[in-house]
Structure 1
Amino acid sequence: MIAAYAAGFSPSDPLSGLVVGDRPAPEPREHWSVVDVRAAALNHHDLWTLRGVGLRAEQLPMILGTDAAGVTADGREVVVHGVIGGASGHGVGPDEPRSLLSERYPGTLAEQVAVPTWNLVDKPAGLSFVEAACLPTAWLTAYRMLFTTGRATPGQRVLVQGAGGGLATAAVLLGAAAGLEMVVTGRDEARREHALRLGAAQAVEPGTRVAPVDLVLESVGKATWTHSVRSVRPGGTIALAGLTSGDPAPAELTKVFFQEISIVGTTMGSRDDLVHLLAFLARTGVRPLVDSTFPLTGARDGLARLADGAQFGKVVLEV
């Protein structure tokens, strides 16, 4: 089968280790299902893998990808939950450590992917395969940050650091639909204006002083951390899902404890979160913002767009 996979690592030139070519099709195994992939979204996780983060050389070659929507052998249209093992242990046993597809098991940037059958969730008829493929990482993380770990309720103010990426656009669309006042930061004026069109109440340059917010969605790290800590109200929450600009230094811990700020970490979301997210979209009509689509054989072009930071919304490969 055709797949996009990591054949080598390069911290400075991640795409140099990418190969799009033949890989063995997944073998059937008990309690697992093979999905014919129809669409697979790209994530920064794929670029980090190509840089050598989270994967060892002896694990290569490794098929990339954590997100997919497709069809099972019996014709069931599904969305793939990309978290394997951990607390559930379904299909892998209770001692299996938690991992994402493309870390211990081959990922979704391929014509087929094998996952525990428990990880499959029915795709709502109103969602296309491309739209559904956007959900299991960025959108699921945004949903969990807002409503599960962040416990946001209608009328609250939420600050999203960074406009344009899949996580940020998902948070704005979900939050606005749920009655939250969404404030977004972005370096690019066009992206800030786009965020306003998506439903953000305010879009400002990074570091701009804003009225205190109840919740901050932080995935940038060093470049925005001080602003996040200074923007959240006393007793408020910072939901942390990434550090794309590196670890913050200093960590502003004096203000954290003095203002009794809660900092909660989030990685992806549970299968139940994915079920609830799909129901949210089906009932509200909210749909993922798709920046661009490429064929599977054009994975290099899609990842290059992601690496350049040129996208607004999700970049998706169609099989």
Structure 2
Amino acid sequence: MLAAYASTLDAADPLSGLTLGERPEPAVPDGWTTVTVRATALNHHDLWSLRGVGLDASRLPMILGCDAAGVTDDGAEVLVHAVVSDPDWRDDETLDPKRSLLSERFQGTFAARVAVPRRNLVPKPAALSFEEAACLPTAWLTAYRMLFTQAQVVPGQTVLVQGAGGGVSTALVALGAAAGARVWVTSRDPGRAARVRSLGADEVFASGARLPARVDAVMETVGAATWQHSLRSLRPGGTLVVSGATSGYEAPTELNRLFFLQLRVLGSTMGTRDELARLVAFCERTGLRPVIDRVLPLTEAEDGFAALDRGEVFGKVVFTP
């Protein structure tokens, strides 16, 4: 079957290891099933995999991709939850020390078919297209967990989203606004302000700008470049949720600010299968839909990877096998 996979790893030139070609049909262990992929979404995780982060050379060749929407062998339309936990694990899947993601230990979704645990399937409502549904299991699920499980954002609160344009940040803006929060966004690109406002953002500020007031919660995916600004933007008792650090991991902690203002700093990674089901229901009932930058056939996967690597994407890149 046709697939986009990592054939080599290179931290400096990740796209050099991306290969499009034939791969064997997926093996199906007990308790697993096969999904014919109708749409699959690109994530920064796939670029990091090509750099060798989270993916060991001993597992190559590895089909990339975490997200998928498709059809099971019996004709059911489904989304795939990408977090694969131990079969005996019965708690929050993201806390399982043995957990993995599709495309790390198990072949991923950038292919005609993918094998997944049956428990990882979530029904796809007819109201969502396959392309829209494919955007939800990683970036949008990450945003959903950050806002509603970790920060427990409620209508009327003010949320600051650091960075604008990526899959997680666009999801944070759209979900927060749809839930009745006031959403402020920072961005290095003034040209993106109008597009971010169209998602429901109330205000867009330059990165590092002094805000007119302190906020209830900050959603942090940028890391070192915005960390101090995030801490200083919080009201006393406010919450900082961090799910990534694209600009680096090393930043001053300002411990005095943490304890004097009683700030909460929470890590967040992906989300559970139940949270994905709630996210799907939220989108179905509110009419909210993921922002899709472009839809490409899988044969043009390299173009999508290159655009993401250059920072030219607003929302999600979707491939159709």
Query: Which range, TM-score by smaller chain?
Result: over 0.9
* Length, aligned pairs only: 317
Q: Within the alignment, does 1:52 sit opposite 2:52 as a pair?
A: yes
Partner of 1:85 in structure 2? 85
How far off its partner does 1:87 sit? Answer: 8.5
Q: Within the alignment, does 1:136 sit opposite 2:137 as a pair?
A: yes
Partner of 2:26 in structure 1? 26
Query: Which SS does the other structure have where 2:104 is aligned?
Result: coil
In structure 2, distance between residues paired with 1:245 and 1:45: 15
Q: Which amino acid aligns with 1:263?
A: V
How far off its partner does 1:297 sit? Answer: 1.1
- Is the CA contact (8 Å cut-off) linking 1:223 and 1:248 kept in structure 2? no
* 1:183-202 correspondence to structure 2 within 5 Å: 183-202=184-203
How far off its partner does 1:192 sit? Answer: 1.6
Partner of 2:234 in structure 1? 232
Q: Within the alignment, does 1:110 sit opposite 2:129 as a pair?
A: no
Query: Which SS does the other structure have where 1:169 is aligned?
Result: helix
TM-score by length of 2: 0.96
Identity of aligned residues (%): 59
In structure 2, distance between residues paired with 1:162 and 1:3: 32
Q: Which amino acid aligns with 2:48?
A: W
- Is the CA contact (8 Å cut-off) linking 1:109 and 1:296 kept in structure 2? yes
Partner of 1:161 in structure 2? 162
Partner of 1:289 in structure 2? 291
* 4+ aligned runs moved over 3 Å, structure 1: 86-90
In structure 1, distance between residues paired with 2:202 and 2:65: 33
Change (3 A) 1:298 1:118: same
Any unmatched runs of 5+ in structure 1?
Answer: none
How far off its partner does 1:55 sit? Answer: 1.5
Query: Which SS does the other structure have where 2:65 is aligned?
Result: coil
How far off its partner does 1:249 sit? Answer: 2.1
- Is the CA contact (8 Å cut-off) linking 1:185 and 1:203 kept in structure 2? yes
Q: Which amino acid aligns with 1:259?
A: L
In structure 1, distance between residues paired with 2:148 and 2:245: 21
RMSD over aligned Cα atoms: 1.6
In structure 2, distance between residues paired with 1:53 and 1:198: 32
In structure 2, distance between residues paired with 1:208 and 1:88: 48
Deviations 1:253-309 (A, max 9, x none): 221122111111111100110010000001000000100011111111111111011
How far off its partner does 1:138 sit? Answer: 0.5
Query: Which SS does the other structure have where 1:254 is aligned?
Result: helix
How far off its partner does 1:29 sit? Answer: 2.5
In structure 1, distance between residues paired with 2:185 and 2:86: 33
Partner of 1:311 in structure 2? 313
In structure 2, distance between residues paired with 1:58 and 1:75: 35
* 1:241-260 correspondence to structure 2 within 5 Å: 241-260=243-262
Partner of 2:266 in structure 1? 264
Q: Which amino acid aligns with 2:196?
A: A
How far off its partner does 1:200 sit? Answer: 0.4
Query: Which SS does the other structure have where 1:193 is aligned?
Result: helix
In structure 1, distance between residues paired with 2:254 and 2:14: 32
Q: Within the alignment, does 1:180 sit opposite 2:185 as a pair?
A: no
Which range moves more in the overlay, 28-37 or 138-147? 28-37
In structure 1, distance between residues paired with 2:168 and 2:222: 11
Which range moves more in the overlay, 279-288 or 254-263? 254-263
Deviations 1:16-74 (A, max 9, x none): 01101111111232210100000000000000000011111111111111100000000
In structure 1, distance between residues paired with 2:155 and 2:114: 38
Query: Which SS does the other structure have where 1:237 is aligned?
Result: strand
- Is the CA contact (8 Å cut-off) linking 1:225 and 1:248 kept in structure 2? no
Which range moves more in the overlay, 240-249 or 66-75? 240-249
How far off its partner does 1:198 sit? Answer: 1.3
How far off its partner does 1:206 sit? Answer: 0.4
- Is the CA contact (8 Å cut-off) linking 2:9 and 2:50 kept in structure 1? yes
How far off its partner does 1:86 sit? Answer: 5.0
Query: Which SS does the other structure have where 1:238 is aligned?
Result: strand
Partner of 1:62 in structure 2? 62
- Is the CA contact (8 Å cut-off) linking 1:161 and 1:220 kept in structure 2? yes
TM-score by length of 1: 0.96
